[in-house]
Chain A
Amino acid sequence: MRVLIVDDEPLARRGVRNRLKQYSDIEVVAECKTGRAAIVAIRSQSPNLVFLDIQMPDISGFDVLRNLDPNEMPAVIFLTAYDKYTLEAFSVHALDYLLKPIDDARFQSALEHARVQIKNHERPELERRIRELLKDTGAPEVGHYESRFAVRTGQKIVIVLTNDIDWIEACGDYVTLHVGNRTHLLRQTMNRTESQLDPARFLRIHRSTIVQTSRIRELVALDNREFLLRLADGKELKTSRSYSDRIDKWL
């Protein structure tokens, strides 16, 4: 049986490899320390079984599986340190997983289980269950946030990519989009604008200010749970106390 070990921590990989030593029919074809390397290795080595860590630096174990075609999907034993929700998902879809630190008895039974599945050619069934799991653990939808605004100026309509916006300022019934050294006036309210933007990238810091977090160069904590933000272009923005919960959460 051809086995691939995927984990970013060297000691964790050695732990799996050492436990596999006692099985003469098992060949460890490769070890990967990143998710991307794992995708490449699964495609080139086509292992029967993959020990797959969930939390990895570049892309998660789930994302590795998402990137595979149906015919590439190997049997998988998941490795995880601590994640209540993930564990629930494994149980729901009857997939094998190992908790760290690894228990020898559980390791053995998970391995035997995988061996039986591979021998009985249950792969299509396994693949279906993995796909179900991936649906459950899927990243939250990102589609419903605007990626661009259409700004009418006189006869022209200018398209402003949200990614290019440094910060947004409220001006009465309008909002001003600050893009580099240019500004665009958009006729809509602050609250509506906030709801259209991905909260992972845009942070409301004031009743009249939204800032793209990637533009923040410096953050100075002031009294009264307020902050002074300095943006890449030198612009200074003050957060307001009433939005301090959001800022704390972001921090």
Chain B
Amino acid sequence: MLRSLERVPRFWVLQLVGWGAYASIIAIGVAPHLRTEGVVLVAFEAIFVFSAFLASFPLHFVCRRLWRKNTPWPSAMSQAVLTSGLLALPCAIAARLAELAALRQPVTWISIQAAFEGVLYATFIFISWSGLYFSIKHYQALQTERERVLEAEALARQARLQALRYQLNPHFLFNTLNSISTLILEGDSSGANGMLTQLAGLLRSTLEEEALQEIPLRREIVVAQEYLAIEKARLGDRLTVVLTISPETLDLLVPALLLQPLIENAIRHGIASRPEGGTVRIETYLVGDRLRLNVSDDGVGEQSTNGHEARVRGGIGLANTLERLRVLYGADHQLVVKWPVEGGCRIEVEFPRALSNSHSERE
């Protein structure tokens, strides 16, 4: 708001500058005739400009009222024109009176009538004034509106991201709790404790990380490993995980909890649904100045199944991830899903590399 006030000077500044400029133009126009008609012209123009300046205040009052009451424009225009005409009359008369005084002529009804030529001119001046007034008001309103829209967009974006914040799959949560319950029953307190700690870490991440937030890949990997440790405990030797993390990617920023749903998707559909299990591969590396993340499984591919066994892919995972990438990076990202002929599924995500703050501070 302050900035818009700076951009558009307040009423008084405009009023003085405007009339000052008008007076200067008149003065320049009058100057060549000074020698011949000197005093008379100065008296006429000075009184005209001054009275018009004074009349612009009641005009301002009327225009402001019209603006504030949101008067429809045909009605506002006719009222402004009428007011301009009414205000023009005394101005023109005042100027004529000054002129008569300068000419030392008597003030008669006939001599004043000459003022009426000036009424049209003064009316035009006031209509221009009103026009300028409404234009500036419109400009300011537009400016405010634009700021409001921008602000609303930012809020909506934030809200959308908040809604997209990843939530733990309830199946996963309750099955994990059940595993912990078994470990307790068996007296394996360190195993139970370890799993509880991992689950707590994962819960904390899903609760704490803002969806908008980008975190260093290093941290994202820690969260992913917590998740993978739990899945390994649940699935036993059916799950093999291969992490290939390029060291130069560790300090780059990624959307918080980007990997976890992708990995969960790979495990859920690629591994857990296959009794013999399989391998989940997670790769991160740089492609030029872009960060590439791949999550793939060698589980049931869409192709390798036929008819009724067709693997049901999906759930909120991928659509949600895609929406987050769209909001965060606009068009500057890539998400590719591949179903190789050999089976399994491979998800490739790519977006611009950005170094985390903590890293640059350290540097």
CB within 8 Å of B: which residues of A? 8-12, 14-15, 18-19, 33-34, 55, 57-58, 81-82, 99-102, 142, 163, 200-201, 213-214, 216-221, 223, 225, 232, 248-251
Distance of A55 from chain B, by nearest CB (Å): 7
Q: What residues of B have a CB within 8 angstroms of the CB of A223 in the complex?
A: 331
Q: What residues of A have a CB within 8 angstroms of the CB of B312 in the complex?
A: 200
Q: How far is B312's CA from A2's CA once the two chains are assembled, in angstroms?
A: 36
Q: Which of A12, A34, A58 contacts B179 (CB 8 A)?
A: A12
Distance of A182 from chain B, by nearest CB (Å): 20
| B174 with A99: CB separation less than 8 A | yes
Interface-centre pick from A8, A9, A218, A250 (highest chain B CB count, 10 A): A9
Q: How far is B277's CA from A34's CA once the two chains are assembled, in angstroms?
A: 12
| B171 with A163: CB separation less than 8 A | no
Known: A216-B302, A220-B334. Is A9-B181 also a contact (CB below 8 A)? no
Q: Is B247 an interface residue (CB 8 A)?
A: no
Q: What residues of B have a CB within 8 angstroms of the CB of A213 in the complex?
A: 302, 310
Q: Which of A10, A33, A232, A249 contacts B314 (CB 8 A)?
A: A249
The stretch among B101-109, B116-124, B228-236 that forms the contact with chain A is: B228-236
Q: Is B305 an interface residue (CB 8 A)?
A: yes
Shortest beta-carbon contacts, A-B, top 6: A15-B182, A100-B178, A101-B181, A81-B174, A11-B179, A248-B319
Q: What residues of A have a CB within 8 angstroms of the CB of B100 in the complex?
A: none
Known: A217-B338, A251-B319. Is A11-B272 also a contact (CB below 8 A)? no
What are the interface flags for B169-188 relative to A under an 8 Å C-beta threshold, 1 for contact and 0 otherwise? 01101110111111101100
Q: How far is B305's CA from A213's CA once the two chains are assembled, in angstroms?
A: 12
Q: Which of B173, B178, B322 contacts A12 (CB 8 A)?
A: B178
Q: How far is B301's CA from A232's CA once the two chains are assembled, in angstroms?
A: 13
| B183 with A232: CB separation less than 8 A | no
Distance of A141 from chain B, by nearest CB (Å): 13
| A34 with B275: CB separation less than 8 A | yes
Q: Which of B173, B174, B233 contacts A11 (CB 8 A)?
A: B233
| A15 with B185: CB separation less than 8 A | yes
Q: How far is B322's CA from A220's CA once the two chains are assembled, in angstroms?
A: 11
Q: How far is B187's CA from A18's CA once the two chains are assembled, in angstroms?
A: 11
Chain A residue with Cβ nearest B332 = A223
Distance of A140 from chain B, by nearest CB (Å): 12
Known: A14-B186, A15-B182, A213-B302. Is A9-B335 also a contact (CB below 8 A)? no
| A217 with B274: CB separation less than 8 A | no
Q: Is B33 an interface residue (CB 8 A)?
A: no
Q: Which of B170, B274, B314 contacts A82 (CB 8 A)?
A: B170
Among B299-319, those with CB < 8 Å from A are 302-303, 305-308, 310, 312-314, 317-319
Q: How far is B305's CA from A217's CA once the two chains are assembled, in angstroms?
A: 14
Q: How far is B317's CA from A11's CA once the two chains are assembled, in angstroms?
A: 26
Q: Is B336 an interface residue (CB 8 A)?
A: yes
| B335 with A221: CB separation less than 8 A | yes
Among B310-352, those with CB < 8 Å from A are 310, 312-314, 317-319, 322, 325-326, 331, 333-341
Given A12-B182, A217-B341, 19 additional A-B pairs, CB 8 A: A8-B275, A11-B234, A14-B186, A18-B182, A18-B186, A81-B171, A100-B174, A100-B177, A100-B178, A100-B181, A101-B177, A102-B178, A214-B302, A214-B310, A216-B302, A221-B322, A251-B313, A251-B314, A251-B318
Q: What residues of A have a CB within 8 angstroms of the CB of B244 in the complex?
A: none
Q: Is B4 an interface residue (CB 8 A)?
A: no
| A81 with B336: CB separation less than 8 A | no
Q: How far is B272's CA from A33's CA once the two chains are assembled, in angstroms?
A: 11
Distance of B87 from chain A, by nearest CB (Å): 55
| B302 with A10: CB separation less than 8 A | no
Q: How far is B183's CA from A101's CA once the two chains are assembled, in angstroms?
A: 11
Q: How far is B173's CA from A56's CA once the two chains are assembled, in angstroms?
A: 16
Known: A101-B178, A220-B336. Is A11-B319 also a contact (CB below 8 A)? no
Q: Is B273 an interface residue (CB 8 A)?
A: yes
Distance of B148 from chain A, by nearest CB (Å): 26
Q: How far is B178's CA from A70's CA once the two chains are assembled, in angstroms?
A: 32
Q: How far is B335's CA from A14's CA once the two chains are assembled, in angstroms?
A: 41
| A58 with B273: CB separation less than 8 A | yes
| A55 with B171: CB separation less than 8 A | yes
Distance of A134 from chain B, by nearest CB (Å): 17
Distance of B35 from chain A, by nearest CB (Å): 72
11 contacts between A and B (CB under 8 A): A11-B178, A18-B185, A81-B171, A100-B177, A100-B181, A163-B306, A163-B307, A218-B338, A218-B339, A221-B325, A232-B303
Q: How far is B186's CA from A96's CA once the two chains are assembled, in angstroms?
A: 25
Q: How far is B233's CA from A43's CA once the two chains are assembled, in angstroms?
A: 31
Interface-centre pick from A11, A99, A213 (highest chain B CB count, 10 A): A11
| A217 with B178: CB separation less than 8 A | no
Chain A residue with Cβ nearest B183 = A11
Q: Which of A11, A163, A218, A250 contacts B336 (CB 8 A)?
A: A218
Q: What residues of A have a CB within 8 angstroms of the CB of B339 in the complex?
A: 216-218
Q: How far is B346's CA from A217's CA once the two chains are assembled, in angstroms?
A: 10
Q: What residues of B have a CB within 8 angstroms of the CB of A251 in the complex?
A: 313-314, 317-319, 322, 337
Q: How far is B310's CA from A38's CA once the two chains are assembled, in angstroms?
A: 22
